[in-house]
Amino acid sequence: MLSYQHGFHAGNFADVHKHLILLELVEYLLRKDKPICYIDTHAGRGLYDLESVQAQKTEEFSQGIGRLWLRNDLSALLNTYRNLVDEINPGDRLTFYPGSPAILANCLRDQDKLILLELHPTEFSALQVNLRDPRIAIHQRDAWEGLQALTPPPIKRGLVLIDPSYEVKQDYSQLPKQVIAAAKKWSTATWAIWYPLLPAGKHEEMLKKFKESGLRKILRLELMVKPATGTLGMYGSGMLIINPTWNLCEDAGAIQDELVRLLEESPASGSQLTEWLVPE
């Protein structure tokens, strides 16, 4: 039984990190006219109400999108991202936050396709209401089963976002197994995998599996908003990118430096890591 609801966390520092890297990848793919197939395996509800009881209970968004919302000194990429959030919030009030499906939907051209998988019945129903578009296919389906069944798609250029809730501990073992198999079948795609940085360090075992997978070109990006030691709860946000786009390879360090400055819990408490887990 799934109990995780992203509404408690929407727009937090990890969402900002994940969605910004996603936008950077999309920006590069859009430079060519050729069709793109996007797959978002853990889609969530697509659009979040930051005035909901869930969001107001944690107020996590105030330490994420809330920190950038009214700034006028952002880099071009952060500005694009902020403007995207701005478009769904008429006026100066930050009320809605777009999930990854809405961010990807916003970038769709006529020739592109977006496939969304979401298992939770309530989240799936909301997703159907929030994202209606003939270019978008929405499945109430297990991410791992769907990923194997749907890859490789007929459109060869693509981007896959893997963003589990890690509420079941099997996610840490299933993810590398399923993603490595699918990435070997669809080797022309770019794969973006999100993971939490928690004191227990469970992500390390997952990274080891990718390191030993035989896949090449895997970039490791981590944003720490506070020190790992003596911390309770999530201290950072990690992303593994298989086949990263050229612009991300060039810009990742600078993007993460900017995010550290904007999102660290207190001055000089944050840091970032940009390195190849597996080089070319």
| Choice between 178 and 256, CB closer to ligand SAM | 178
The CA angle 59-201-142, to the nearest 5 degrees, is 70
| Choice between 6 and 82, CB closer to ligand SAM | 6
Binding to ligand SAM by residue 118, rule CB under 6 A?
Answer: yes
Binding to ligand SAM by residue 226, rule CB under 6 A?
Answer: no
**Beta-bridge mates of residue 238:** 195, 222
Buried b (16+ CB within 10 A) or exposed e, 53-86: ebbeeeebbebbbbbbbeeeeeeebbeebbebbe
Closest distance between ligand SAM and the C-beta of residue 252, in Å?
A: 19
Q: Which of 23, 37, 43, 182 binds ligand SAM (CB under 6 A)?
A: 43
Strand 158-162 relative to strand 47-49, pairing: unpaired
Other beta carbons within 10 Å of 277: 17
DSSP 162-227: E-----STHHHHHHHHHHHHHHHHSTTSEEEEEEEE-TT-THHHHHHHHHTSS---EEEEEEESS-
| Choice between 20 and 143, CB closer to ligand SAM | 143
Closest distance between ligand SAM and the C-beta of residue 6, in Å?
A: 4
Q: Which of 94, 117, 192, 193 binds ligand SAM (CB under 6 A)?
A: 117
Binding to ligand SAM by residue 99, rule CB under 6 A?
Answer: yes
Closest distance between ligand SAM and the C-beta of residue 15, in Å?
A: 6
Tokens of 261: 């400055």
Count, in order, helices (H) and strands (E) of the chain. Answer: 10, 10
Contact yes or no for 229/197 (Cβ under 8 A): no
Active-site residue set: 163
Closest distance between ligand SAM and the C-beta of residue 151, in Å?
A: 15
Please give the backbone phi and psi of residue 156, each rounded to the nearest 5 degrees, phi first.
-80, -30
Binding to ligand SAM by residue 17, rule CB under 6 A?
Answer: no
3-state secondary structure of 69: coil
Residue facing ligand SAM at closest CB distance:
99
Q: Which of 42, 113, 220, 226 binds ligand SAM (CB under 6 A)?
A: 42
Separation of alpha carbons 198 and 217, rounded Å: 25
Closest distance between ligand SAM and the C-beta of residue 140, in Å?
A: 8
Q: Which of 66, 78, 100, 147 binds ligand SAM (CB under 6 A)?
A: 100
Mark residues 142-161: x for contact with ligand SAM by CB under 6 A, - for none: xx------------------
CA distances from 86 to 49, 60, 96 (A): 14, 18, 9
Closest distance between ligand SAM and the C-beta of residue 40, in Å?
A: 6
- The residues of the shown chain that bind ligand SAM, judged by CB under 6 A, are 2, 4, 6, 18, 40, 42-44, 99-100, 117-120, 123, 142-143, 163-165
